[in-house]
Amino acid sequence: MCVCADCAAAEREALPLCNSEFKAQQPPEYRDLRSVLFTELVRFGSRRHALRVCSSRFALEEFELLKSKKERDEWISRKASEHRDMLEHSALCKAWLKHMQTYSHSTGEIGWRSEAQKLIDGYWPERSAFLDHKLVRRPEKLTDHAWNAMKSQLVNVLSQHKKSRLAREKQKVLTARYLDFKQQYKRAQEGSDCRNPIPAMGDFLTSPAIAKAIWETATDEPLTDDGIRKHISDHLPAFADYWRLEQTQELVQLMRASGFASAAESDLHLAATVFKFVVSIIHALTGEAINGCGHRTRTMLVSLN
């Protein structure tokens, strides 16, 4: 086939009709040579057909630029060689297509046609694990005996590809979900009261309830913004209470590790009261707020009071 149906339909005016009038306009040296003016029966619409010249529209211009008989003979020979190459390539493509249709039918019989097609679409043969497989590239006709001998190997190739493909697709969905939860939780943080802090971004996104929503919701089931906000509002209060208790216990352990062996949660409440009192005095005397304390400790101390 010289041109595809779409190109023929879109550019039918550019493909000359092969008739006596057209031939009379061509040089006598090649007007009857199909290797130079090769043609094809092109279909337009549902019924119309026309024999169109598919060779280069610039053939005449090229030929007339050549002045000597030797140059023109060489040009005709070159065009004939190009035509033979094209026909050979066309034959190989048709044979390869028929070959692949046989494999497609065979993989379909064992339930793997869809996965095989995914490995074919969008790949050059040398880049496709299926097309480039030595068993598929064999030029021999696919017999029942040959298929039975190679079937298990090809199924292994396809199953490995399916496993990798599903893993990539799942990772893409999970990444998108984490970003969506991050965006919605950031809005929740912006609207929270700093005197009653809520968990940090990483702590909340890795909490059991949220991790379960992200990981265990089916990949083909979308999590909408409304659904994500509902997850956050449903699970944040309980997790925030747990998180504050955990942070309090961590601070107590830090105090004990620093030499305050009898440190308890009540000491943190006292520390919070003293901290706020000292800050208020310094602010009253200097007119400046204290910004040098660690944000996490200061936040927890204030929240405990």
Q: What is the pLDDT of residues 137-177, one digit of tens each?
A: 777 777 888 888 888 888 888 898 889 889 999 999 999 99
Report for 89-93, 164-168, 282-286, 290-294: range of highest mean pLDDT: 164-168
Residue 298, domain member (yes or no)? no
DSSP line for 99-145: HHHHHHHHHHHTT-HHHHHHHHTT--GGG-TTTTSTTTS--S---HH
Residue 23, domain member (yes or no)? yes
Residue 108, domain member (yes or no)? no
Whole-model pTM: value is 0.54
Residue 222, domain member (yes or no)? no
Residue 4, domain member (yes or no)? yes
10-14 mean pLDDT: 54
* 3: containing domain: 1-65
Report for 41-45, 273-277, 297-301: range of highest mean pLDDT: 41-45
Residue 47, domain member (yes or no)? yes
User: How many domains would you assign to the chain?
Assistant: 1
Residue 209, domain member (yes or no)? no
> Degrees (nearest 5) of the Cα angle 30, 35, 36?
45
Residue 223, domain member (yes or no)? no
pLDDT at 127: 62
